[in-house]
């Protein structure tokens, strides 16, 4: 989703540290005392951390070492947090090199007081502050510290609230256990049960969702932060043969689809038997999400849509993007054009199957995934129809700025601050496009100088639509605050200017947000708090009804 690429959010990236730990069960290999974890950002590995958890009669000690490359640039020589038997923290020690500078901090906790001393990037630190009785110690980039949370959540009830201390000077933060669900993870051929804890950090207005995965004994497996595209996963679960099975439908079956020199891992959702040759719909996700279910704030958008499509008689295909999950390929040099070619590879694979009607293959994309779907349709005539959900109508550059402005309004930033941040975002966008980085800090360049971000900024749906000849349906939630509803009408106008346009339709769905679920305000901050995580029936009916009518005409 484009909002993630505003420099405002890039600057906030990694404010919350992350995680990791082992698990042991009858279906999973025994984990050693010291465990390695791989850290991903937008599906790209940026480093590892080795974590050891040592319980004893005197409490719990968690230690780690690690190395993270850009955009973090940090080497952790030693990080240690110790808790007493009653879960009050005893001390924190961090020894690291950050951007080439030494950082050494020690914090001791006594009688509700935290005393921190040391130095950060060459500057002396001396700070004393009050803390609550049993706060979790959550220093930045000490992912193993989250093992303590995993252990305490085993016996926790939904709605429980906790405090976290971010040494050495940051104030305490509050987080809440919003939901607990039983899910499955797969590594190789083994499938085992895990618990997913949905934590909300911050206030109800601007809560950030953190998904923590652990076994039934409280050993930590993974933490995933959707808004930051940050994933820290135990090494064996980070392998391409492993994935979390977060959502499934009746009729789901795995598939491996060949693309350009690598394979895409997919899930086919098959309708009830009855048709000799099935119409098929490929669900195209945003490159920044990557996961085949397109899960955002606990809503598996593509997972649910696949079930809805299968119930309507379509074979649905959802897949992990290249370089993500169980799919091969690399993301470092991938562009929108590359992701569109992956869609075309799936079209070819479907067209060669005896159970698929090759004349009735459609693509459906959400957000940026809709841009990829449109680009694929402009290049692949075997695609018979396109559904675009919550799709921006402006160039990528203009849309990133639009998102930046909306986010600043939500933060109630001062006019001067807004102007400065918008100006910085404009200069970053120009640098990404032109390759001229004069005056842009190196840490920002390391986060933004990516081929696919450049392809996002220069993407122009107006130009792409000139080459799309297939029937089009633009679906939009009327409460969408991430991509305003007027974008759908503008896209339809652009599409209708085509001289040989066959069909252009718009379906604006009342009462739903960008995720197609019922909402009150539609704002991003509302996502984690939504009680209903199900895509609206009206949205599903609009999509399946249009597809059935449109694809019937090409039989």
At 51 the pLDDT is 94
d(C-alpha 326, C-alpha 261), whole Å: 15
- Give me the phi and psi of 29, to 5 degrees please: -60, 150
At 73 the pLDDT is 84
d(C-alpha 308, C-alpha 251), whole Å: 12
Domains in the chain, ordered, with CATH?
A: 17-243 (no CATH), 266-395+460-552 (3.40.50.1820), 397-453 (no CATH)
- As given in the structure block, the two tokens for residue 507 are 């379906």
What predicted TM-score, i.e. pTM, was given to this entire model?
0.68
* Residue in this structure with the two tokens 């601007």, named with its chain if needed: 206
- Give me the phi and psi of 8, to 5 degrees please: -55, -45
Task: Please tell me what DSSP assigns to residue 368.
Answer: H
Query: Distance between the two ends of the chain, CA-based, in angstroms?
Result: 35
* Cα separation values, 381 from 21, 182, 497, Å: 48, 42, 19
Give the pairing type, strands 101-110 and 220-225.
unpaired
d(C-alpha 136, C-alpha 418), whole Å: 34
pLDDT in tens, the chain (555 residues): 444 444 433 333 333 332 222 333 334 434 446 888 999 887 778 899 999 999 999 999 999 999 998 778 889 999 999 999 999 999 999 999 987 788 899 999 998 899 999 988 778 889 898 888 889 999 888 899 999 999 999 989 999 999 998 876 677 889 999 989 888 776 655 667 889 999 998 766 567 889 999 988 899 999 888 877 788 998 878 765 555 666 788 888 889 999 988 899 899 999 988 778 999 999 999 988 888 999 888 899 999 999 999 999 999 999 999 988 788 888 878 999 999 999 999 999 999 999 999 999 999 999 999 999 999 999 999 999 999 999 999 999 999 999 888 888 777 778 888 899 899 999 999 999 999 999 898 878 887 888 889 999 999 999 999 999 999 999 999 999 999 999 999 999 999 986 455 689 999 999 999 999 999 999 888 888 888 999 999 999 999 999 999 999 876
d(C-alpha 412, C-alpha 239), whole Å: 42
At 406 the pLDDT is 84
At 186 the pLDDT is 67
Reported as type and span, the H/E element at residue 127 is: strand 123-130
């Amino acid at each position: 989703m484009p909002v993630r690429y505003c420099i405002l959010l890039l600057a906030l990236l990694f404010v919350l540290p992350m995680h990791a730990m082992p698990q042991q069960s009858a279906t999973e290999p025994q984990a050693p005392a010291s465990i390695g974890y791989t850290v991903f950002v937008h599906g790209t590995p940026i480093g590892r951390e080795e974590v050891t958890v040592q319980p004893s009669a005197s409490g719990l000690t968690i230690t780690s070492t690690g190395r993270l490359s850009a955009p973090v640039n940090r080497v952790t020589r030693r990080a240690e947090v110790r808790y007493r038997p009653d879960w009050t923290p005893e001390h924190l020690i961090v020894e690291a090199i950050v951007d080439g500078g030494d950082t050494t901090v020690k914090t001791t906790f006594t009688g509700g007081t935290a005393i921190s001393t040391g130095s950060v990037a060459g500057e002396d630190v001396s700070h004393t502050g009050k803390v609550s009785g049993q706060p979790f110690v959550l220093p930045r980039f000490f992912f193993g510290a989250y093992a303590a949370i995993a252990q305490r959540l085993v016996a926790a009830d939904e709605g429980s609230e906790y405090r976290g201390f971010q040494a050495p000077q940051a104030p305490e933060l509050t987080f809440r256990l919003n939901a607990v669900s039983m899910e499955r993870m797969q590594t190789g051929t083994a499938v085992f049960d895990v618990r997913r804890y949905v934590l909300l950090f911050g206030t109800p207005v601007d809560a950030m969702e953190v998904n923590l995965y652990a076994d039934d004994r409280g050993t930590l497996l993974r933490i995933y932060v959707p808004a930051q595209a940050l994933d820290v996963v135990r090494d064996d679960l980070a392998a391409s043969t492993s994935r979390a099975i977060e959502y499934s439908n009746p009729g789901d079956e795995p598939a491996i689809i060949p693309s350009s020199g690598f394979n895409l891992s997919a899930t086919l959702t098959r309708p009830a038997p009855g048709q000799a040759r099935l119409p098929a719909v490929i669900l195209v996700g945003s490159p920044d999400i990557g996961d085949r279910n397109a899960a955002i704030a606990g809503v598996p958008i593509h997972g649910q849509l696949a079930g809805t499509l299968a119930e309507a008689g379509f074979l649905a295909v959802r897949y992990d993007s290249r370089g993500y999950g169980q799919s091969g390929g690399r993301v470092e040099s991938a562009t929108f054009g590359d992701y569109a070619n992956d869609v075309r590879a799936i079209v070819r694979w479907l067209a060669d199957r005896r159970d698929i009607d090759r004349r009735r293959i459609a693509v459906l994309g959400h957000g940026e995934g809709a841009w990829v779907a449109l680009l694929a349709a402009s290049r692949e005539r075997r695609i018979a129809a396109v559904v675009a959900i919550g799709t921006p109508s402006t160039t990528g550059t203009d849309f990133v700025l639009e998102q930046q402005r909306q986010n600043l309004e939500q933060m109630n930033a001062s006019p001067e601050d807004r102007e400065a941040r918008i100006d910085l975002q404009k200069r970053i966008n120009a640098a990404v496009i032109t390759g001229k980085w004069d005056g842009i800090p190196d840490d920002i360049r390391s986060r933004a100088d990516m081929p696919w971000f450049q392809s996002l900024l220069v993407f122009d749906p107006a130009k792409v639509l000139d080459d799309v000849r297939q029937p089009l349906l633009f679906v939009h939630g009327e409460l969408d605050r991430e991509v305003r509803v007027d974008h759908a009408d503008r896209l339809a106008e652009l599409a209708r200017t085509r001289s040989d346009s066959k069909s252009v339709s718009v379906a604006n769905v009342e009462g739903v947000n960008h995720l197609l679920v019922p909402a009150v305000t539609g704002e991003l901050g509302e996502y984690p708090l939504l009680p209903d995580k199900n895509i609206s029936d009206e949205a599903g009916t609009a999509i399946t009804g249009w597809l059935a009518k449109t694809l019937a005409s090409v039989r």
